[in-house]
Amino acid sequence: MLFNSPEFVLLAGFTFLLYYLRFFRNLQVHILTAASLVFYGWSSIELLSLLLICIFINGTLSWYVCHYPDHPRRKLWVTTGVVLNLGILFFFKYGPLAGKAILRLDDGIGAFLMSIPLPVGISFYTFHVLSMLIDVYRKNTDKTGSLLLPRNYWRSQLNQLFYIAFFPQLVAGPIVKAHEFLPQIRTKYFRDIPFEMAFRNIVLGYFLKMVLADNLGEFTSYLSYPALASQTGSQLLLLLLAYSCQIFADFAGYSLIAIGLCRLYGYTLPSNFNFPYISASFAEFWRRWHISLSTWLRDYLYVPLGGNRKGPVRTYINLMIVMLLGGFWHGAALSYMVWGAYHGGLLALERFLGTYIRLPRHAVIRFFQMLLVFGLVTLGWLLFKLPNFSEVIAFGKAVFSNGFYWADFRQVNTFYILLYSLPVLLWHVHYLVRDSGLYLRVRRFEYIVYGLLLFGILLLRGYPGEFIYFQF
DSSP code for 444 = G
Domain identity same for 11 and 159: yes
**Residues 248, 252: Cα–Cα separation, whole Å:** 6
pLDDT of res. 354: 85
Encode pLDDT of 202-232 as tens digits: 999 999 999 999 999 988 888 888 888 888 8
Task: Give the residue from 149, 174, 192 where a domain finishes.
Answer: 192
For helices 233-264 and 363-385, the axis angle rounded to 10 degrees is 90
Residues 90/103, Cβ–Cβ less than 8 Å: no
Encode pLDDT of 147-171 as tens digits: 788 899 999 999 999 999 999 988 8
Q: Find residue 147's DSSP bridge partners.
A: 141
pLDDT tier at 110, thresholds 50, 70, 90: confident
Task: Give the residue from 143, 175, 192 where a domain finishes.
Answer: 192
pLDDT of res. 256: 95
pLDDT tier at 17, thresholds 50, 70, 90: very high
Gyration radius from the chain CA atoms: 23
The kind and range of the H/E element at 319 are: helix 312-330
pLDDT tier at 11, thresholds 50, 70, 90: very high
Report the alpha-carbon angle 119-125-129, nearest 5: 135
Domain identity same for 295 and 183: no
Q: Is the pLDDT of residue 435 over 80?
A: no
* Three-state DSSP state, 411: coil
Domain identity same for 178 and 228: no
Domain identity same for 262 and 181: no
Cα atoms found within 13 Å of the Cα of residue 115, Cβ hemisphere only: 6
pLDDT of res. 130: 93
Encode pLDDT of 308-352 as tens digits: 888 888 889 999 999 998 988 887 777 888 899 999 999 999 999
pLDDT of res. 103: 64
Q: What residue ranges in 310-394 does DSSP mark as E strands?
A: none
From residue 62, alpha-carbon distances to 69, 81, 164, 165, 295 in Å are 11, 9, 13, 16, 22
Domain identity same for 163 and 290: no
Domain identity same for 452 and 327: yes
Domain identity same for 158 and 205: no
Q: What residue ranges in 369-408 does DSSP mark as E strands?
A: none
pLDDT of res. 57: 92
pTM beyond 0.85? yes
Mean pLDDT of the chain: 87
Q: Is residue 1 part of a domain?
A: no
Chain center to CA of 63: 28
Domain identity same for 304 and 333: yes
Across 47-51, 115-119, 140-144, 412-416, the highest mean pLDDT is recorded for 47-51
**Residues 112, 94: Cα–Cα separation, whole Å:** 13
Least confident range from 87-91, 144-148, 412-416: namely 144-148
**Residues 86, 126: Cα–Cα separation, whole Å:** 8
**Residues 458, 341: Cα–Cα separation, whole Å:** 41
From residue 21, alpha-carbon distances to 16, 98, 185, 190 in Å are 9, 50, 17, 9
pLDDT of res. 410: 63
Domain identity same for 172 and 236: no
Which phi and psi angles does 87 have, rounded to 5°?
-65, -45
Least confident range from 287-291, 294-298, 311-315, 384-388: namely 384-388
Domain identity same for 377 and 342: yes
Active-site annotation, residues: 330
- Which residues constitute the domain of residue 30? 6-192
Q: Which of 130, 8, 132, 125 is CA-nearest to residue 63?
A: 132
**Residues 430, 426: Cα–Cα separation, whole Å:** 6
Q: Which of 328, 280, 278 is CA-nearest to residue 301?
A: 328
pLDDT of res. 172: 81
Mean predicted confidence (pLDDT) in 92-101: 76
Domain identity same for 378 and 437: yes
Q: Is the pLDDT of residue 144 over 60?
A: no
For helices 334-354 and 363-385, the axis angle rounded to 10 degrees is 160
Task: Give the residue from 192, 226, 261 where a domain finishes.
Answer: 192
DSSP code for 129 = H
Encode pLDDT of 374-387 as tens digits: 999 999 999 988 87
Q: How many domains does the chain have?
A: 2
Q: For residue 159, how many other CB atoms are within 10 A of its CB? A: 23
DSSP code for 147 = B
Q: Is the pLDDT of residue 276 over 90?
A: yes
Domain identity same for 178 and 204: no
Q: Is the pLDDT of residue 58 over 70?
A: yes
**Residues 199, 206: Cα–Cα separation, whole Å:** 11
Encode pLDDT of 181-196 as tens digits: 999 999 999 999 999 9
Q: Is residue 164 part of a domain?
A: yes
Q: For residue 261, how many other CB atoms are within 10 A of its CB? A: 24
Which phi and psi angles does 399 have, rounded to 5°?
-60, -45
Mean predicted confidence (pLDDT) in 4-23: 90
pLDDT of res. 212: 95
